[in-house]
Chain A
């Protein structure tokens, strides 16, 4: 996602508030990809990613002046809105999700372990394995990894998106990477 208040974002939002369809379309096309990917990487589900993308831009459509440039970039604002929708949907789906979403679950480890015992870990499989490992992180760690490592936001932007302190981002990212490293080591041991 473009960082900072890129040229034209403010103008586009003003035009959207006046009902300009072209401005809305331009804004949507500029930001739909990152919003969709964020939701997909957070949930692992295409349906949730689609729903969240739609909901985020419905918010923009309904109240384009809600964005406050003093509180961060447009990207951070959109990630923040998307994050709230994702967490809400994941909470609603919780009873139906597999235990993959629960890092403390034995089932999550057994599933990943079984797959990896049988698999010759090619690059794609390693990526898939890492994707699953990210999805298995608790949401508070997952969102930091997705924003900082997958979407390359800096700490300040991630803090603005998640409405928390920069120190919190830094410590969560450190902890999240440690959890992922631990998981990868475990998988390598299983593979040997």
Chain B
């Protein structure tokens, strides 16, 4: 290394020591905000996948058992739901449809299909109902509301 190079290296050392700067706190804040946002989306997608999976499993079981879906020409209005309830067997009691978690981003329903399925009691947890472990494996009859895209929007339980 010649004298000129040595001078340069010496100068660069001084330059390295001179500039020990750090990123401003605002960068950390922005990144943390983004991290939390992503984690929220991730959790939502996890539950969505779980919900859709549970309903899809129910639908698949229903199909295997030869249960035919009941087509509904358009999204059920309150009147339609009332009428539907009226046509149910006298000994059946069905409540309102509960929206499945994280279905807000799905397109609005133009038409819908209601599929009667048997689901494990544990599915009730998806809509926030507490289910004890002993009863989690029991079967419950439910109507699943599918949109025109085949994605489940809601569920109601039939007693």
Which residues of chain A have a CB within 8 Å of any CB of chain B?
Answer: 19, 21, 24-25, 28-29, 32-33, 35-37, 40-41, 49-50, 53-54, 57-58, 61-62, 123, 126-127, 130-131, 134, 145, 149-152, 177-178, 180-182, 184-185
Please name 11 further chain A to chain B contacts, defined as beta carbons within 8 Å, in addition to the given A36-B23, A50-B23, sorted by A numbering. Answer: A21-B32, A28-B31, A36-B27, A61-B38, A127-B15, A130-B14, A130-B15, A150-B19, A177-B5, A178-B5, A182-B4
Compute how far the CA of A54 lies from the CA of B27 in the bound complex, rounded to whole angstroms: 6
Contact status B15-A53, CB under 8 Å: no
Q: Assess A50 versus B22: contact at CB under 8 Å? Given A19-B39, A57-B31.
A: no
User: Is B16 an interface residue, CB under 8 A from the partner?
Assistant: yes
Compute how far the CA of A126 lies from the CA of B11 in the bound complex, rounded to whole angstroms: 8
Contact count A vs B, C-beta below 8 Å: 98
| Contact residue among A21, A35, A184 (Cβ-Cβ distance under 8 Å from B35) | A21
Compute how far the CA of A62 lies from the CA of B16 in the bound complex, rounded to whole angstroms: 31
6 contacts between A and B (CB under 8 A): A19-B39, A24-B35, A33-B20, A41-B19, A61-B34, A62-B38
Q: Mark B65-96, 1 if CB is under 8 A from A, else 0.
A: 00000000000000000000000000000000
User: Is B125 an interface residue, CB under 8 A from the partner?
Assistant: no
Which residues of chain B have a CB within 8 Å of any CB of chain A?
Answer: 2, 4-5, 7-9, 11-16, 18-24, 26-28, 30-32, 34-36, 38-39, 42
| Contact residue among A35, A40, A49, A181 (Cβ-Cβ distance under 8 Å from B4) | A181
Compute how far the CA of A111 lies from the CA of B28 in the bound complex, rounded to whole angstroms: 36
Q: How far is the CB of A130 from chain B (nearest CB, A)?
A: 5
Instruction: Give me the 4 closest cross-chain CB pairs, A-B, nearest first.
Output: A181-B4, A36-B23, A149-B12, A150-B16
What is the predominant secondary structure among interface residues of chain B facing chain A?
helix
Contact status B35-A61, CB under 8 Å: yes
Task: Name the A residues within 8 Å of B14 (CB-CB).
Answer: 123, 126-127, 130
| Contact residue among A36, A37, A127, A177 (Cβ-Cβ distance under 8 Å from B9) | A177
Compute how far the CA of A181 lies from the CA of B7 in the bound complex, rounded to whole angstroms: 7
Contact status A184-B39, CB under 8 Å: no
Compute how far the CA of A116 lies from the CA of B133 in the bound complex, rounded to whole angstroms: 80
Q: How far is the CB of B46 from chain A (nearest CB, A)?
A: 10
Contact status B39-A145, CB under 8 Å: no
